[in-house]
Structure 1
Amino acid sequence: MTAVEPYTRAGHLPETEPQAGPGPVPTGVATGEILVPTIGVEEEFLLVDSRSRAPVARAAQVIETAERVLGDQVQAEFYRAQVEVCTRPTASCGDLRGQLAGLRAMAGRAAREADCLLVASGTAVVPPQQPLPVTDTSRYRRMAALCGALVDGSAGVTCGCHVHIGTADRAEALLLANHLRPWLPTLQALMTNSPFSCGRDTGYASWRSVQFGRWPTAEPPPLLDLAGYEESAETLVTSGILLDRRMIYWFARPSEHVPTLEVRVADVAADLDTTLLYAALVRGLAATLLAEARRPGARPPDVPVTRLHAAHWHAARYGTAGPFLDPLTGRHVPVHELMNALLERATPGLRAAGDLELVRRLFARRCRLGSGADHQRAVYRRRGGLRDVVDNLAEVTAAA
């Protein structure tokens, strides 16, 4: 593998605009016909009180401690009970896992110093004892004012995992998004980890998907070329629907800051190897699809947006445990068929990256253990309390 220069962060745009970098950022490694992209991951975590297990607004203290070691790889999120950690871009899944483990360890240590626990769950299992405040930045205050009751400080507190795939430019990011659309529901189902929210079982595998879906543009990406993207983004902002382009929350969106495509369908996973599996699958699938999309005459599947919405609903409702809608055919199929199809589709890119055996092993493990949502419910059945679910999530989060 060739050396990879980092972006400012893994494709994330901080609250203040970064200074211009020293030059172009490498976006991948050429392997035969397939360009293996670089990869970066962002993970959002909840901070919960060590005694009540309820979310607490201690992010400022935790970040102040953690950033002495992590610098700008630890960041504030929308609510003061959340922190985000971000890897540097890399070409290696081994390096990615090491980065994620180190980031979690340091953030968890800083949380313990603030008398709280770092918890990877898409939603808060135990309700906050009072509405959580929004992080005090001008942009977040304006977003809260724009979105009104969506910002409730309780059930709307959600944590996701975002994967950034290096691309040559925004046009290529859009090309990749167009070809990736039909596979996003299956990736979402793989990562469901939010069945409980604020003290109750929601009946969903990913309640985060439902709650975050209330935000404008939190939906499947439209089929767009570069001109179409510019027109759509401009309209969304000038119409007042969005504050700025950074509020475009499509499930796969081009970064406004660095040459990446950001995939945004996943709940944050407590189990680190689940995050690694997801990131490697996204990268392998992206490498495969980009190689095909660059061929003369290649066209993306024109899947009806209503069918995509239906497939994402099935992913949120059932995860890996129930019926599933195949976005490409519109047929209801067993979810394991689409999971296996996803792995097969990603195989050329995984092989080119040297990740195929790793992903097969992690995929088999995931199928054996079930989803994060399955695990949360199993802990609740076995131990009988939501505080026990939070404790287990904290233990698994720290186990990296």
Structure 2
Amino acid sequence: MEAAAEGTTTISPQLAARAERHDLLTLGIEEEYLLVDAVEPRGVETVEAVLDEVPEELRPGVQHEYLRSQIEVASPPQLELVGLYDAMVTLRTGLADAAERAGSRLLAVGCGPAAGPNTRLVDDPRYHRMRERFGDLSPGQGLCGTHVHVSIPDPETGVRVLNLLRPWLPTLQAAAANSPLFGGRDTGYASWRSMMWERWPTVGPTPYLRSHEHYLTLIADLEASGAMLDEGMLYWYARLSANYPTVEIRMGDVTPTLDDAILLAALARALVATLLHEVRSGTEGPEVSHPLLMAAHWRAAKDGLEGLGLDLATRETRPAWRLLRQLVDYVRPELERHGDLQMVTVLLDRLRSRGSGAARQRALLAKGTPVAGVVDWLARTTRGEM
């Protein structure tokens, strides 16, 4: 969900000039988290108390989410992955500390793993209008995702990048999968959040766009249809930011570790940078059919990184890990050019050895760990203790 404005802070003139001078792209991360009781694994409506405990210096990067058991952070734009990592460590740790002072715990997880009552909306006029029009499309304690912003030169170019991004996004979604549990049981999906999220009328793959004018026309038509209140409710898997000169890739579940989040952000930036070269060379990109894209995203939600994914170039299923390696190989020159290749190689190896968030939760369950123990693990991992 979005509040009236996105949380990513404005880029400084110095950083913008440096990026332009070296033809590099800036990036930023938004993460949504679940708040659970300090002892029990259920979600709790403590967002206002948590916000009261957030240190003053962190408040520009922290905001409400849709439900009172959720909270969101946004990094400032960065050029270097180390700077992004440091900014997100500060935000995660500071917010986890604030949550504990407010009698709750912070979880980086796609949806509520444990059973518990549905939580109420944040008292915001926009959210009340959403509930009035769309009803209870977000049951439970909250749906929490990761969004990555990557700078683009202009909206027209951004639209062409969106067209080229479409076949790659299921692979990123699979790598982010981190919500196998809901209401105290294994759902059979690596990302159950993805399945619940698709209830909203504007959630889905970005359509193939003819121009920026076409993009704006679709937004106006969707608003006129009643399917969304405003541009903030354009929940396509990739879109243009309404407030900043960026492409926003709505990656999938929030990941349990910052290692995973930084890896996916780096791949997203390298992918956008690679596709910008394609745009400048006149490549239009394949018009992959909407049903096939939906099938690929369903497969990503079902299997995550440890199963099969749909290769949209060949229309064949392949191991999801092979598709991720294929993406890394494709964007390798831009990983090198942005100075990210070494860190990405390390983080990719860690993800391979540890498994996705969904796989790690299931590994705990297989050892006999109860759901409450999985929640304990998520709280420690969110803080960077695991």
Q: TM-score range by the shorter chain?
A: over 0.9
Asked if 1:252 is matched to 2:238, the reply is yes
Q: Which runs of 4+ in 1 moved over 2 A?
A: 12-18, 20-32
How far has the Cα of 1:28 moved from its partner? 7.3
Indicate the SS of the match to 1:150: coil
The 1:27–1:350 alpha-carbon spacing in structure 2 relative to 1, beyond 3 Å, is farther
Structure 2 counterpart of 1:214: 199
Q: 1:15 aligns with which of 4, 9, 27?
A: 4
Asked if 1:142 is matched to 2:132, the reply is no
How far has the Cα of 1:31 moved from its partner? 8.0
Structure 2 counterpart of 1:7: none
- Deviates further, 103-112 or 264-273: 264-273
Q: Distance in 2 between matches of 1:304 and 1:335?
A: 20
TM-score in terms of structure 2 length? 0.94
Identity %: 39
- Structure 1 alignment gaps of length 5 or more: 1-11
Instruction: Answer whether contact 2:35 2:45 (CA < 8 A) is retained.
Output: yes
- Structure 2 alignment gaps of length 5 or more: none
Q: 2:322 aligns with which of 322, 327, 337?
A: 337
Indicate the SS of the match to 2:19: strand
Counterpart of 1:26 in structure 2: which amino acid? Answer: A
Asked if 1:360 is matched to 2:345, the reply is yes
Aligned length, in residue pairs: 382
Q: Distance in 2 between matches of 1:56 and 1:304?
A: 41
TM-score in terms of structure 1 length? 0.91
Counterpart of 2:131 in structure 1: which amino acid? Answer: A
CA deviation string 1:63-113 (max 9, x = no partner): 122152312200000000001011000101000000000000110010000
Asked if 1:105 is matched to 2:90, the reply is no
Matches within 5 A, 1:58-77: 58-77=46-65
Q: Distance in 1 between matches of 2:73 and 2:18?
A: 22
**Aligned-pair RMSD on alpha carbons?**
2.1
Indicate the SS of the match to 2:239: strand
Indicate the SS of the match to 1:26: helix
How far has the Cα of 1:383 moved from its partner? 3.8
Q: Distance in 2 between matches of 1:279 and 1:310?
A: 24
Instruction: Answer whether contact 2:2 2:65 (CA < 8 A) is retained.
Output: no
Structure 1 counterpart of 2:16: 26
Q: Distance in 2 between matches of 1:22 and 1:368?
A: 35
How far has the Cα of 1:21 moved from its partner? 7.8
Counterpart of 1:141 in structure 2: which amino acid? Answer: H
Q: Distance in 2 between matches of 1:288 and 1:22?
A: 22
How far has the Cα of 1:287 moved from its partner? 0.8
Counterpart of 1:15 in structure 2: which amino acid? Answer: A
Matches within 5 A, 1:1-400: 14-15=3-4, 26=16, 29=19, 35-128=23-116, 130-152=117-139, 154=140, 157-224=142-209, 225-295=211-281, 297-399=282-384
Q: Distance in 1 between matches of 2:93 and 2:56?
A: 14
Counterpart of 1:264 in structure 2: which amino acid? Answer: R
